[in-house]
Structure 1
């Protein structure tokens, strides 16, 4: 493995969120940085509020940062502060990547790419086109995921504790996304995606065995929600696969080069201190 070097020409990237101490993004990106021998570093930033996040973006405009990934609760603010944005970010109204160049800010979202890669890897038989998908949550990650799923031809039902927020998301994304409530929301669904920070109260045992369940949370890799899905005989897709899936385009956007062709999953599992249960991760 090559050894990274830090000089006066170092490119600094990072992850921004609150809380952010749990994030595995620095582990992934610095693993790739070291493998590629880049003059770069990827660190964590935790602004206390929206004003703090705006200050960090100003630092990026001033040339102090190459780019950052953005996580909760700043994804929608990241999109709003950008000068230009990718079509993917515009579709979802949120961003998990900000790139700083020549005093300007470009917003992008790789959350959807990460979700699709995770599904391809761990639920390869799943077909989205013409299918019904339930999205639990309506935050920044849910926005990006719902936009991507709708773009793949799925009919997306948004289930969220705050109906107003769910309706705003559905209105932004258009006709293939609707708000749903109660047990009827899950009828005919082939995929349930949890974008909430808490375990959903769903009777997974009552679902058809063909249903796939995904949890965007990756600590632990097998969350109680995913374990319940496995116990019910459902296909379970973990958030670690999504995190890795979005990390590669993020790395290239921030540092200007593609990451090394190294799968960080075994390294991450070792970092977490466990091996994948059931042999399917």
Structure 2
């Protein structure tokens, strides 16, 4: 049987992962499929443990399941153990393995949008959120040598594992104090789902960000979030969430289908056009 993979989340209708993997399957001339699966949190353990019975060779895991996936896999990679979050799973000799490709996906998206050497000038980051995606963002920024990373969370205690990555370089901040911290921020990253189609807006005033700062948003539906629109209005460099989505997808495709693809301008244009069509239809398809 041709290999079958998935992306599981709740909600999941917004996901463009099937379009990405379908494009690569076609371009590589491979048999196989990749589909969306909406799985509620209480049903997720049964879904993940039943992959073989469902005919899946593996798949991607997105909001809100990344931390649960880490607890459920049998063989997490060292990177997944560090983050205690998994976004890519596969079956290997009947064993459920898991990795976190968001780390490299995020920093590679910064490389593509901001150019080589961005980490030499954007040395102080403020990351919004403390969930699975935020862990990948913080780990990636630390690996690139940033001097200071502040994590803003509604529940500051939830940020403790991220502070533990590097206690001398990472600090936690209550979400309500974010705007006061913007003056000491070179790179602002939204690692929450706020601003995504169907979710509440972030509602953040960027007036305090210094000139020369950059703003990144892991949300890609819509492609231009309210946060990025406000940043562009101030003339700040911006990084949308599509680059991270494209780059994090590469290792999973290689695991499931045996070929390592690359993001291309043609693929990005395809996803952008699909997002634009969805927005014209009211943001939901």
Say what the alpha-carbon RMSD is for the aligned residues: 2.0
Residues 129, 153 of structure 1: 8 Å contact kept: no
Q: How does 1:1-281 map to 2 (within 5 A)?
A: 9-50=1-42, 52-62=43-53, 64-124=55-115, 126-127=118-119, 131-154=123-146, 155-171=148-164, 174-181=167-174, 182=177, 183-198=179-194, 199-259=201-261, 262-263=264-265, 264-273=267-276
Classify 1:261/1:44 alpha carbon distance in 2 versus 1 (closer, same or farther; 3 Å).
closer
* CA distance in structure 1 between the partners assigned to 2:65 and 2:106 by the alignment: 19
User: Which structure 2 segments of 5+ residues have no match?
Assistant: 195-200, 278-285
Normalising to structure 1: TM-score of the pair?
A: 0.87
Residues 213, 237 of structure 2: 8 Å contact kept: yes
* CA distance in structure 2 between the partners assigned to 1:23 and 1:255 by the alignment: 20
Residues 20, 45 of structure 1: 8 Å contact kept: yes
Aligned to 2:282: none
* CA distance in structure 2 between the partners assigned to 1:33 and 1:250 by the alignment: 13
The structural deviation recorded for 1:248 is 1.3
Higher mean alpha-carbon deviation, 253-262 vs 230-239, is at 253-262
The structural deviation recorded for 1:94 is 0.2
User: Which structure 1 segments of 5+ residues have no match?
Assistant: 1-8, 275-281
The structural deviation recorded for 1:177 is 1.9
TM-superposition CA deviations, 1:191-216 (whole Å, max 9, x none): 11001222334321221111110010
Residues 132, 156 of structure 1: 8 Å contact kept: yes
Residues 61, 88 of structure 2: 8 Å contact kept: yes
Aligned length: 265
Residues 183, 210 of structure 2: 8 Å contact kept: no
Normalising to structure 2: TM-score of the pair?
A: 0.86
